[in-house]
Amino acid sequence: MAEPLPGGLLARYATPERLVEAARGAREAGVQGLDAFTPFPVDDLNPILGLNERTIPKLGLIGGITGAAAAYAMQIATNLDYPIDIGGRPLIAVQAFALIGFELTVLFSVGFMVVGFFILNRLPRYHRPLFAIPAFEHATRDGFFLFVPTPDADALGEARELLGGADGIAEIPQ
């Protein structure tokens, strides 16, 4: 179960550039736990939000190696358990195993990445308090949103000052 979103402010910006500026300003002010919602990837946000994790490609590599090992182990074990001499072909013919090896390498690699994606992003997430804000539906079309968590009322006022240049600010209760 995903942990509940803390209270805070959700600021809307008209352009990705303004969102990046606001996120950079919030990060420089020492705000932790920033989150951004955009209709398309904004690469300049990744270092600001601390999204430098490269786990998915590593999972793909682990899955690919596991798939290749499983494919070759399965075919070798089968040929050793049920040996059939066909025209002097060796029982362990690596070239003949390449097709199944490739298929299982791709299958396991993609499978590990897809399952890892869902687990790392804590999906499916059926409800978040942000979904109740009417303007938030624009996050999938033309809105650029920055979420600033605020643990108490004092931080709420500071965050409101920090996000003064936003097109709109919505408060999310604790």
In order of their start, the domains of the chain are 8-39+142-174 (3.30.70.120), 55-120 (no CATH)
Query: Using one digit for the tens of pLDDT, what is the confidence trace for 19-65?
Result: 999 999 889 988 888 999 999 999 899 999 988 888 999 999 999 99
Query: Using one digit for the tens of pLDDT, what is the confidence trace for 134-157?
Result: 888 888 899 999 998 887 767 777
On the 0-12 / 13-18 / 19+ scale of CB atoms within 10 A, 124 is exposed
> In this model, does residue 3 exceed pLDDT 60?
no
Prediction pTM value = 0.73
Task: Look at residue 173 in the predicted model and tell me its pLDDT.
Answer: 65
Task: Look at residue 113 in the predicted model and tell me its pLDDT.
Answer: 98
Cite the DSSP H helix spans in 121-152: none
